[in-house]
Structure 1
Amino acid sequence: MIKEAIDCIDAGTEYCPCKLAESGDCLLCSQLQGECFCDCLNWKGVCIYQELYNNGNKAKEGRKNYTCVVKEVTNYNDEVVMIKFEAPHKLAIDLVRPGSYVFVRTDENNYFDIPISIMNSNIENNIITILIEIRGIKTKNILNIKEKENIVIRGPYWNGVFGLKNINAQKGGKSLILAKGIGVAPMMPVIRKLIAQDNDVKVVVDKNPFENTFGEEFLSEYSLKANEYDLLEQGKLSDHCKVIIKEALKEGVKYIHIAGADILTYNVIQYLDKLDRKDVLLSCCNNFKMCCGEGVCGACTARFSGHRVKRFCKEQSNPRSIFEGRRFI
């Protein structure tokens, strides 16, 4: 059993206390969970109970909608669309960190917005880049977006990556990035953070099921080039991927970021356990379904042994913990 500290991505920010605190479901505050004593699960420097009281027992104002001007649209065979839009300066700063994402609205209806990870946020010109895979009814409307038109977004949100503490802990070391498909988008802010902390970064990309890797433009800014290999074969780690991981460990890599579906993350964790390398720190994409982004609707919840329910649009977790004790039924 992995012992983990419960952490809320919004605790101590301008968006705390939130609706969960108002309803008595705060992730951290024991008193707001109905307990008699103060036993905060993870002290973040701010008393959430006191903040709620000072705010009239009401939640803080939530995220805002922003109407932004689209600067550039690149369509890749109607499968993937890259959009660059201009945002307010503060929003651009807030979306720099790894795990940042926004909700993009493609219709006037407030319920038809889509959670999309930030690929790049340029704080010098306030241009934000997102990469969207066209999959369903809502994302199909993305194909109608044109340059110089407006796009409505809601944000900022920050829990798009698990293992943020492990990313922040990497300083002057060696890191391995394993990305597959659309995962190249959320890997970019992670790489930016690692480079800023003087890390030597190796990037391996599996572009399947697409023809493009999409990330060359931003990787070139860091003088990086992605090595292309198949990371999965029939739902299992490919031989190439196993060799890449083994060689990286021999070279002194002690941190791996996995930017792909849960099946890739799960298989990498299983392989590291087989090598008896539980000391390797990990981070990965948050692939749980997002709907409201505030932990209220329940779309992001997962149930674990011991009748535990985790709201993964709010709760920051270690990648190894999201599979341990998880109930798949």
Structure 2
Amino acid sequence: MVFRACPCRLAETGDCILCSQLAGKNFCDCCNWNGVCIYQDYASNNYKAKESRKYYHCKIVEKNKFEDNVVIFTLEVSDKLVSELVHAGSYVFARRPDTDTRFDTPISIMDTDTRNNTITIAIELKGTKTKDLDILKEGEEMLVKAPFWNGILGVKNINNIKNSKCLIVARGIGQAPMIPPLKHLHGNNNEITVIIDNAPYKNSFVNEYMEKYASKVILVSTICRGKITEEFNNILKDLISNNDIKLVHCDAADVLNYELMKVVEGIDENIKYSCCNNAKMCCGEGICGCCTRKNNDRKLRRLCKMQTEPKYVLEGRRIF
């Protein structure tokens, strides 16, 4: 997705992820590009990058605590911003207004409400950044930098599939970023089976969404000591073999994302696969290098921006 901040600072340094001429090459290879020419946009802007994403002061209209270490915030945002965050894979950077940019925390969008102009995010309290957000109370403001969209690897597989049977797997806090792809798939007339592993929690915080959008929900322990459990493996084989599954999507830690991908490939390599993007992120603009990956193909990928298939990220690197 090309944004109003494109071309960004990567164009100035010859590191653009889309335009070959702004990536140090002397030719245009955008033969299948249907959007505005990025190089022309760059030239029209006096060969300078456009203004980066902005920060927004968002009022906290609701704050709920789930079990001991999950906080769910509902934030009031502008109608324009909420419309930009409805896409599967959307995420934001959030922090308290009285802290500096070092506290920017990448958080996936859990839900959007275009009627009331609100977004919902779920935060697992892990370290200093997330615990710092928990200090905020209802009625106060949260500082949000947005919009960002590369929260899902293989997102085109989700966007393109219609009138089919799909499988979604989510574990722990991964239940939060599962909601946008679930709603998108449901909106495209897909029949969705959802497998949920609540660990490390006792219960699920997305039950209302399951009742509304999922055709079937299965609760099972998915992984143990880095390997898919036998029960989960048997369920997968039965579902995929007997239900003509066309897409499998996973929202979990990369060890489960990878193990599930290999199982799906082993059963039917024609099934499309997507998963959440768990890359560490700091700036979201591809500048800091925190999210970069180099695997067996030696290609550098800036995962805060660069869209790719999960196999090019998960294979060839240590995932746990």
Cα deviation per residue 1:99-155 (whole Å; 9 max; x = unaligned)?
A: 000001124212211000000001011121100000001111122111111111010
Aligned equivalent of 1:36? 26
1:252 deviates by 0.9
Correspondent of 1:56 among 46, 49, 54: 46
Relative distance call for 1:223 and 1:178 in structure 2 (3 A) is closer
Aligned equivalent of 2:245? 253
1:87 aligned onto 2:114: no
1:115 aligned onto 2:110: no
CA contact (8 A) 1:101 1:118 kept: yes
TM score, norm. by length of structure 1 = 0.92
CA contact (8 A) 1:301 1:312 kept: yes
Judge which range, 98-107 or 185-194, deviates more.
98-107
The 5-angstrom pairing of residues 212-227 of structure 1 reads 212-222=203-213, 226-227=217-218
1:13 aligned onto 2:23: no
Cα distance in 1 between the residues matched to 2:64 and 2:215: 22
Cα distance in 2 between the residues matched to 1:157 and 1:62: 11
Aligned equivalent of 2:197? 206
1:85 deviates by 1.1
Structure 1 unmatched ranges of 5 or more: 1-9
Relative distance call for 1:205 and 1:310 in structure 2 (3 A) is same
CA contact (8 A) 1:303 1:327 kept: no
Relative distance call for 1:193 and 1:306 in structure 2 (3 A) is closer
1:204 deviates by 0.9
1:152 aligned onto 2:143: yes
1:33 deviates by 1.8
Identity value in percent = 44
Aligned equivalent of 1:266? 258
Relative distance call for 1:198 and 1:13 in structure 2 (3 A) is same
Three-state SS of the structure 1 residue aligned to 2:39 is: helix
Correspondent of 2:173 among 172, 175, 182: 182
Three-state SS of the structure 2 residue aligned to 1:178 is: strand
Aligned equivalent of 2:290? 299
CA contact (8 A) 2:191 2:215 kept: no
Correspondent of 2:66 among 45, 56, 76: 76
Correspondent of 2:153 among 155, 162, 169: 162
1:223 deviates by 6.1
Cα distance in 1 between the residues matched to 2:265 and 2:281: 30
Judge which range, 284-293 or 318-327, deviates more.
318-327
CA contact (8 A) 2:192 2:216 kept: no
Three-state SS of the structure 2 residue aligned to 1:204 is: strand
Q: Which structure's relative contact order is higher, taking Cα pairs within 8 Å and 6+ residues apart?
A: 1
What letter matches 1:161 in structure 2?
A: I
Aligned equivalent of 2:273? 282
Aligned equivalent of 1:197? 188
Cα distance in 1 between the residues matched to 2:171 and 2:294: 27
Relative distance call for 1:247 and 1:176 in structure 2 (3 A) is same
1:314 deviates by 0.7
Aligned equivalent of 2:311? 320
Cα distance in 1 between the residues matched to 2:88 and 2:213: 16
Three-state SS of the structure 2 residue aligned to 1:92 is: helix
What letter matches 1:271 in structure 2?
A: V
Q: How many residues align?
A: 318
Relative distance call for 1:30 and 1:83 in structure 2 (3 A) is same
Cα distance in 1 between the residues matched to 2:224 and 2:99: 41
1:38 deviates by 1.6
CA contact (8 A) 1:88 1:126 kept: yes
Cα distance in 2 between the residues matched to 1:118 and 1:293: 15
What letter matches 2:102 in structure 1?
A: Y
1:89 deviates by 0.6
- The list of structure 1 runs, each at least 4 consecutive aligned residues, that deviate by more than 4 angstroms after superposition, is 325-328
Aligned equivalent of 1:67? 57
1:44 deviates by 4.2
Cα distance in 2 between the residues matched to 1:41 and 1:15: 23
Cα distance in 2 between the residues matched to 1:220 and 1:95: 23
CA contact (8 A) 2:63 2:137 kept: yes
